[in-house]
Chains A and B, each alone.
Chain A
Amino acid sequence: MSSLDTTMGHSAPSHAEDNYLTHAHGIKSWLLTLDHKRIGVMYLCSTVGALMLGGVFALLLRTKLLTPGPGILDMSHDTYNRMFTLHGAIMVFLFIIPAIPGALGNFVLPIMLGAKDVAFPKLNLASYYLWVFGAVFFVTAMVAGSIDTGWTFYTPYSVTTPANGVIWATMGVFILGFSSIFTGLNFIVTIHKLRAEGMTWFRMPLFLWAIYSTSVIQVLATPVLAITVLLLTVERTLHVGIFDPSLGGDPVLFQHFFWFYSHPAVYIMILPGFGIISEIVGVHSRKHVFGYRFIAFSSLAIALLGFLVWGHHLFTSGQSALASVIFSAITFTIAIPSAIKIFNWLATMYKSSLQLTTPMWYAFGFIVLFVIGGLTGLFLAAMAVDIHLHDTYFVVAHFHYVMVGGTLLALFGGLYHWWPKMFGRMYNEMWGKVGAVLVTIGFNVTFFPQFVMGTRGMPRRYFTYLPEFQAFHIASTLGAYLLGFGIVLAFANLAIGAFRGRKASANPWGGATLEWECSSPPPHDNFAVTPTAHDPYDFAHLSYDEKTDGYVARRS
């Protein structure tokens, strides 16, 4: 990764002015950097690496599922169990949770605020290295320990399974959790204390509202996961019996603790995506975002309501009926802030000067997938329906629509949106759109058949299946190949653009947020003079300049 980055640094001197890529040279200047932009780029490379690793496991699983039984890969059921555990755990802990805050959040957040850096740059680098250490530790423990518990580590199985790696894997989760907590803490303090002049709360770009809400969840929910996995470790090593029914403990308590973190964590995964889509829809529609305050507050509402719904994961686990009714009702209310966002994005696009750029294509894809994922969530929130659908492929399809559709498409949209800023070069627009279409279609072909299978009773995590499901599984697998190809194409287009693309102007899209006021790529300290913040979605003063192929401000 670092060698790749240093070559980028060397390719950039054609830029006249000093920028963060050329500011210092050598591997050490990357590995020990305190610059939020470089840390963001390092997060990007690492989390994309994790995505590729998790994706390989996904494709292996899907290939096996072409046929019932061991299939063409001759995979044993134990290998299958380990592989879906690896796929889920790597994707959740190493990609979806850290990717957008770590990569785009780090890169964009301080610039959007008009700050020189995050509040605690050393802590920021420490978070990154905690992630790296945790990731290596976690993956090694899971592979060496042959863990087959699924990413949820449910007790009592995780306490009784002979796979001893559970202890080490949960310690890996513990370390990754603190990486996430420190990132969230850093962002909250930065947003509170380092806003430039004129940057009131309601002049903050919506991406920052989303990151702020995400950070609140990271700081409040992740410690509960930390104590849970710590207790699980103690349970396994000392047999204290807190989660072990044979010693008087309660395994369902583990599920409560686990989902008290992991349900809010679902919003850690989706909220940054909402933020990115809000930026893309505003800028590429060339129109003031409709219902700014509603979108901003809906992020906070989702963050807070997200803490009150964990019981919907336990409808069938032996929870009191009254608690289930309450959790079901609160779960339904989350649909309200989510729908507020969707309607406001659509209202922003309505009668706007919509630009069909690659980021906008990803925003379309995101909205389609999120509507499908969100509405199927209501099926699962309804208790009677959930009894039928729980632990089927319907659930698998639902959360992939929200988490993958949400995070992955938003990440791509955000990368395509900010890529000219990050590396100072444009990508190929045509191939960008092809990638967006392939990813969106591939995703739907992969997961839509899983909804159908789920309603017809195909259980999740099963090694084999009845013959009537085979047609759906084959469709799903072919979709997965298409999705994988689309993802590789999308990243390849970005990488080629970063090295070979034509130079980008400071403001190629005509965005009004502060990051478009500094040059592309940004200088080491972001701004020569601390800027003054204005309305982030007022595009009236920006006009297109053909000479630079970008927008320039003509503020009177």
Chain B
Amino acid sequence: MSTAAAHNHHGEEGHGHDPHLAHHFDSPQQQFDSGKLGIWLFLIQEVLFFSGLFCAYAVYRANHPEIFEFAHRYLDVTLGAVNTAVLICSSLTAAWSVRAAQLGQRKLMIGCIVVTIACAFGFLGIKYVEYAHKFHDGLLWGEKFNPKYAPGGHGEEAGHSPTADAEGHSGQHATAPGATITQEAAGEAKVTTPRNTSIFFSIYFAMTGLHGLHVIAGIIVYVWLLWRALKGEFGPKQYAAIDFAALYWHLVDLVWIYLFPLLYLIR
């Protein structure tokens, strides 16, 4: 397979970092294929890196579904949905930047990279707003979990059906004395918080936090690509770095596409 690829000259210069073919490759095609296989292996490694957290999620959700059904209502579905749209949009522009580079459309390529970076910042901005709410309202991990209101609403506008639901679920835990926290939910009926609800926020912050770090890494990569693109380094014969970065960015997007329903849309 590889030997066939080595002899398969396309006359393309697909390199990663050097303007010239590295000395240990026979052909630009071989160099490009190596880079591509390398980035795919890196992405597999990334999937397994995240898998630990998905596994923790699965274990705790299976053992304590009531925590997840109760606590997810604290999350803002609208902001989450907007962020999903923002990331999908950035994935489109990331893919488009590769095509623009292949076709030699330099301005389009630079525009796509800029939009990708802007979307990434937009995502982090919205995430910041969400995190700020959580910090303000005491919706945190471990012993720091100290919610100021019942789920389903923000402060004054306490939710109605969530309250009822939560009470329904709390029944499962009536056997454990002292295991539930009762709260006064903005003048309405008492809401019981399942025991160890903080676990949900531990997992929420761990997963979205690690994902956020990957978004930041993606921004760094794309700023570097933008700098190189402005120097005119990319073209139909050299677009490997843009291609590989887009693959990475799609993975970051894909992780979020799993995180959004798993954390925000639980029923």
Contacts and interface: CB of A to CB of B under 8 A. Distances in A.
A192 B2 contact: yes
B182 interface: no
A188 interface: yes
B41 A219 contact: yes
Interface string B22-37: 1111100010011001
Interface stretch (A68-76, A129-137, A242-250, A282-290): A242-250
A227 B17 CA distance: 29
Contact of A247 (B5, B6, B196, B203): B196
Contacts of B38: 119-120, 123, 185-186, 189
B45 interface: yes
Contact of A239 (B25, B44, B59, B141): B141
B199 A248 contact: yes
Interface string A520-556: 0000010000100000000000000000000000000
A117 B30 CA distance: 13
Contact of B34 (A193, A231, A253): A193
B176 interface: no
Given A223-B45, A223-B48, A227-B49, A257 B206 contact: no
B24 A240 contact: no
B78 interface: no
B34 A119 contact: yes
Interface in A219-271: 219-224, 226-228, 230-231, 234, 238-242, 244, 247-250, 253, 257
A238 B203 CA distance: 12
A470 B60 CA distance: 47
B56 A193 contact: no
B224 interface: no
B199 A241 contact: yes
A189 B41 contact: yes
Given A224-B52, A241-B142, A241-B199, 13 more contacts: A189-B34, A189-B38, A189-B41, A190-B34, A193-B33, A196-B3, A219-B45, A223-B51, A230-B210, A240-B205, A247-B199, A248-B195, A248-B198
Interface string A486-530: 000000000000000000000000000000000000000100001
Interface of B: 1-3, 5-6, 17, 22-26, 30, 33-34, 37-38, 41-42, 44-46, 48-53, 55-56, 59-60, 141-144, 195-196, 198-199, 202-203, 205-206, 210
Interface string A94-131: 00000000000000000000011111111100000000
Nearest to A197: B3
B202 A241 contact: yes
30 contacts: A117-B24, A120-B38, A185-B38, A185-B41, A185-B42, A188-B37, A193-B5, A194-B34, A195-B3, A219-B41, A219-B45, A223-B45, A223-B52, A224-B51, A226-B49, A227-B49, A230-B210, A234-B206, A238-B141, A239-B142, A239-B143, A241-B142, A242-B199, A244-B142, A247-B202, A248-B199, A249-B199, A250-B60, A253-B56, A253-B59
A66 interface: no
Given A226-B49, A239-B142, A247-B198, A193 B24 contact: no
A35 to B, nearest CB: 10
A296 interface: no
Contacts of B46: 223
A199 interface: yes
Contacts of B22: 121
Contacts of A190: 34
A223 B49 CA distance: 5
**In the complex, which range does the number of interface residues on chain A fall in?**
35 or more
Contacts of B45: 181, 185, 219-220, 222-223
Q: In the A-B complex, list the 7 residue pairs whose CB atoms are closest, starting with the nearest.
A: A248-B196, A227-B52, A116-B24, A223-B49, A240-B202, A117-B24, A223-B48
A192 B52 contact: no
A238 B48 contact: no
Interface string A170-194: 0000000000010001101110111
Contacts, number: 125
Contacts of B206: 231, 234, 240, 242
A193 B7 CA distance: 11
A468 B227 CA distance: 72
B1 A192 contact: yes
Contact of B24 (A194, A222, A228): A194
Interface of A: 115-123, 181, 185-186, 188-190, 192-199, 219-224, 226-228, 230-231, 234, 238-242, 244, 247-250, 253, 257, 525, 530
A197 B143 CA distance: 62
Contacts of A227: 49-53, 210
B83 to A, nearest CB: 22
Contacts of B42: 185
A195 B1 CA distance: 10
Contacts of B44: 219-220
Given A189-B38, A192-B37, A248-B199, A242 B56 contact: yes
Contacts of A198: 3
Given A193-B5, A223-B46, A234-B206, A257 B52 contact: yes
Contacts of A226: 49
A231 B38 CA distance: 27
Contacts of A119: 24, 34, 38
B202 A242 contact: yes
Given A195-B3, A227-B49, A240 B141 contact: yes
B52 A195 contact: no
A199 B52 contact: no
A186 B203 CA distance: 33
A117 B25 CA distance: 9
A530 B44 CA distance: 32
Nearest to A226: B49
